[in-house]
Chains A and B, each alone.
Chain A
């Protein structure tokens, strides 16, 4: 393999030079490729779609983790759905106040291969004593789960493939039952400019389950086509309306080091372009 062409869109796409191929295999669930690229470092792709790169993963993982965690202010328990590369886990583990972290990943090969070839993603987080790893379908897990969490993070692939069930109303409803009353759920929701249907669908499917719903965003270079959106659902509207001072104070006391996230970005990320505002008024 000399080049890796992403096949997310028919008439447009990004292509990487493969400077070194580390791994390519069809797992029981999906086609996994890990390779080296001069500009982005190690790159992981599933089913023809870029999932994460060493160079720009910090943006995605910091934003999907620290925004809800600091907005909530007192997260003790976290449920991660997907996230097999370990990046979300690493960021959650930075918060010393978090006591229990459960991660449910469907594809154990993704976990093993990422530990081996993308070790900086998890950075040892899989060995953290607070962490419990469950190899299971995330939708199945929340359906049968009798625990409740302060925060649920859905770090899934796109909705074609094993993650399809992680974009259904049933899944969101079951997640809601696994949330504490003040809890927050966030999900990766695709690049809105390219995949507006996904944003609209999530807005519709969150509606029956969460009193307060919104999206926030960040631009991740290898998720091509503009800003990536994250869906936000909670029954506590205050969580999304924290002041800069509050977030600043929590950020300071958390003593975490970040490269993209900061309190100003936190607040600004909820400002959405008009086309997303209109599309999500459902």
Chain B
């Protein structure tokens, strides 16, 4: 995807309308797009129970939309539990996947009704002795992925050869381990690491079930399903991406319950950032545009998530000049895009950021006490007002 697109002024109208109604900056969540993403992934992974990783976009409208589609939920904190409680999600369809927990985190989850937890070491296992009659655990196994922009295997996960020791210890403590989980990475270029991990976990589960009187019955294949950001050349075809995963899963015993924890794939394409130019300055050879949202706000993912978002501006002129798009805070690091060729923009003009659902507002800060972007959910149901339905967010 390319960094910058210039559209005609006329095409800004639906965004102008939203800003007139809700102010700026905005993050516009299109629940139809979220639904489409969920359905695409569901059909690419038939028989796999999808637990939405709500950390990527912990917003009530997103939870509600996915809940109504029958999604399950992946939670990591008590705050996320409260969000699910408000949305009336069924606790039986939740898993707590934070590998490191305080006692009260475990208690909060149990009181909510979540009984599945993830561990990856002996200290964490021992925390469940008091709750052994109530819980079923997944052991998170680490499979390092050098090709993933976010390596999720360094901070968490045990080595495959440590699983057996943990299982023995769990049995000795009377704690039931019901399966394995892994995270192949984030934004994976292909499914090779998933396949490698599925095969290795399948082997561990097979060996354990042969040798033990107890059984592991769940394999959690994590997330890592990619979306397109700036610089990604090929369009993501999720069905093709998942084909090797389907093939690997087909070799596993039928009784094994397969689950996944998609976050980014569902939320990223579902939200756009709508910001306004609040000031401009000519500095040397470049024009600086200062937006009312930036790296400390919705664009925080450019720092934390290593994502570069496609941008759209609106102009009917053909001239371009070198420009910088900066955020509003006093920090000089707060620059969204440098060395871009822009048409001349006026103060008050709109700049749109695309693919901005995942790890954007989720990691925004209050730095400078600049107000965060307001999240506006559109297309929550087909009966919603026609004004917001005018906007179709699909970028392309």
- For residue B282, CB closer than 8 A to chain A, the reply is no
Range of interface residues on A (Cβ < 8 Å): 20 to 34
- For residue A5, CB closer than 8 A to chain B, the reply is yes
Task: Give the residues from 45 to 102 in chain A that come closer than 8 angstroms, CB to CB, to chain B.
Answer: 47-48
A5 (CB) vs chain B CBs: closest residue: B92
User: Complex formed: what's the CA distance from A196 to B134 in Å?
Assistant: 12
Q: Are B111 and A10 within 8 A (Cβ)?
A: no
* Proximity string of chain A (3-29) to chain B, C-beta cutoff 8 Å, 1 when within and 0 when not: 001011111010000000000001000
Q: Are B107 and A10 within 8 A (Cβ)?
A: no
B130 (CB) vs chain A CBs: closest residue: A197
Q: Are B113 and A48 within 8 A (Cβ)?
A: yes
* Proximity string of chain B (123-136) to chain A, C-beta cutoff 8 Å, 1 when within and 0 when not: 00000001111111
- For residue A237, CB closer than 8 A to chain B, the reply is no
B110 (CB) vs chain A CBs: closest residue: A160
Q: Are B88 and A7 within 8 A (Cβ)?
A: no
- Across the A-B interface, give the 6 residue pairs with the lowest CB-CB distance, nearest first: A7-B113, A48-B113, A10-B136, A10-B115, A47-B111, A5-B92
Given A7-B114, A9-B133, A10-B134, 12 more pairs with CB closer than 8 A? A5-B90, A5-B91, A5-B113, A8-B134, A10-B115, A13-B92, A48-B111, A160-B107, A160-B131, A161-B107, A164-B107, A194-B133
Q: Are A161 and B90 within 8 A (Cβ)?
A: no
User: Complex formed: what's the CA distance from A14 to B353 in Å?
Assistant: 48
Q: A195-B133, A197-B130, A197-B132 are in contact. Are A11 and B176 (CB under 8 A)?
A: yes
- For residue B169, CB closer than 8 A to chain A, the reply is no
B92 contacts across to A, CB distance below 8 A: 5, 7, 13
- Chain B nearest CB from A18 CB (Å) reads 12
Q: Are A7 and B115 within 8 A (Cβ)?
A: yes
User: Complex formed: what's the CA distance from A161 to B113 in Å?
Assistant: 12
- For residue A30, CB closer than 8 A to chain B, the reply is yes
- For residue A31, CB closer than 8 A to chain B, the reply is yes
A196 contacts across to B, CB distance below 8 A: 133
- For residue A39, CB closer than 8 A to chain B, the reply is no
- For residue B288, CB closer than 8 A to chain A, the reply is no
- For residue A282, CB closer than 8 A to chain B, the reply is no
- Chain A nearest CB from B54 CB (Å) reads 18
User: Complex formed: what's the CA distance from A47 to B112 in Å?
Assistant: 6
Task: Give the residues from 62 to 121 in chain B that come closer than 8 angstroms, CB to CB, to chain A.
Answer: 85, 88, 90-92, 107, 110-116
User: Complex formed: what's the CA distance from A10 to B90 in Å?
Assistant: 14
User: Complex formed: what's the CA distance from A10 to B176 in Å?
Assistant: 9
User: Complex formed: what's the CA distance from A31 to B108 in Å?
Assistant: 11
- Chain A nearest CB from B284 CB (Å) reads 57
Task: Give the residues from 10 to 44 in chain B that come closer than 8 angstroms, CB to CB, to chain A.
Answer: none
* Proximity string of chain A (135-159) to chain B, C-beta cutoff 8 Å, 1 when within and 0 when not: 0000000000000000000000000
The B interface, classified by DSSP as helix, strand, loop or mixed, is: mixed
User: Complex formed: what's the CA distance from A30 to B110 in Å?
Assistant: 12
B114 contacts across to A, CB distance below 8 A: 7
User: Complex formed: what's the CA distance from A194 to B113 in Å?
Assistant: 17
B136 (CB) vs chain A CBs: closest residue: A10
- For residue B194, CB closer than 8 A to chain A, the reply is no
Chain A to chain B contacts (Cβ below 8 Å), 5 pairs: A7-B110, A7-B113, A48-B111, A48-B112, A48-B113
- For residue B276, CB closer than 8 A to chain A, the reply is no
Q: Are B115 and A9 within 8 A (Cβ)?
A: yes
Q: A31-B112, A160-B110, A160-B111 are in contact. Are A10 and B178 (CB under 8 A)?
A: yes
Range of interface residues on B (Cβ < 8 Å): 20 to 34
A162 (CB) vs chain B CBs: closest residue: B111
User: Complex formed: what's the CA distance from A197 to B176 in Å?
Assistant: 15
- Chain B nearest CB from A1 CB (Å) reads 7
Q: Are B91 and A10 within 8 A (Cβ)?
A: no
B136 contacts across to A, CB distance below 8 A: 10-11
> Of A10, A31, A164, which one neighbours B135 at CB under 8 angstroms?
A10
A26 (CB) vs chain B CBs: closest residue: B85
- Chain B nearest CB from A48 CB (Å) reads 4
- Chain B nearest CB from A31 CB (Å) reads 7
B113 contacts across to A, CB distance below 8 A: 5, 7, 47-48
B116 contacts across to A, CB distance below 8 A: 10
B92 (CB) vs chain A CBs: closest residue: A5
- Chain B nearest CB from A93 CB (Å) reads 31
User: Complex formed: what's the CA distance from A95 to B194 in Å?
Assistant: 67
B90 contacts across to A, CB distance below 8 A: 5
Q: Are A48 and B91 within 8 A (Cβ)?
A: yes
- Chain B nearest CB from A74 CB (Å) reads 39
- Chain B nearest CB from A40 CB (Å) reads 19
- Chain A nearest CB from B85 CB (Å) reads 6
- Chain B nearest CB from A230 CB (Å) reads 19
- Chain A nearest CB from B209 CB (Å) reads 16
A11 contacts across to B, CB distance below 8 A: 136, 176, 178
* Proximity string of chain B (330-354) to chain A, C-beta cutoff 8 Å, 1 when within and 0 when not: 0000000000000000000000000
- Chain B nearest CB from A239 CB (Å) reads 31
User: Complex formed: what's the CA distance from A225 to B323 in Å?
Assistant: 70
User: Complex formed: what's the CA distance from A193 to B130 in Å?
Assistant: 16
User: Complex formed: what's the CA distance from A7 to B136 in Å?
Assistant: 12
A164 (CB) vs chain B CBs: closest residue: B107
A13 contacts across to B, CB distance below 8 A: 92
User: Complex formed: what's the CA distance from A129 to B107 in Å?
Assistant: 39
Which among B115, B176, B178 has the highest number of chain A CB atoms within 10 Å?
A: B115
User: Complex formed: what's the CA distance from A1 to B115 in Å?
Assistant: 20
Q: Are B111 and A31 within 8 A (Cβ)?
A: yes
- Chain A nearest CB from B267 CB (Å) reads 26
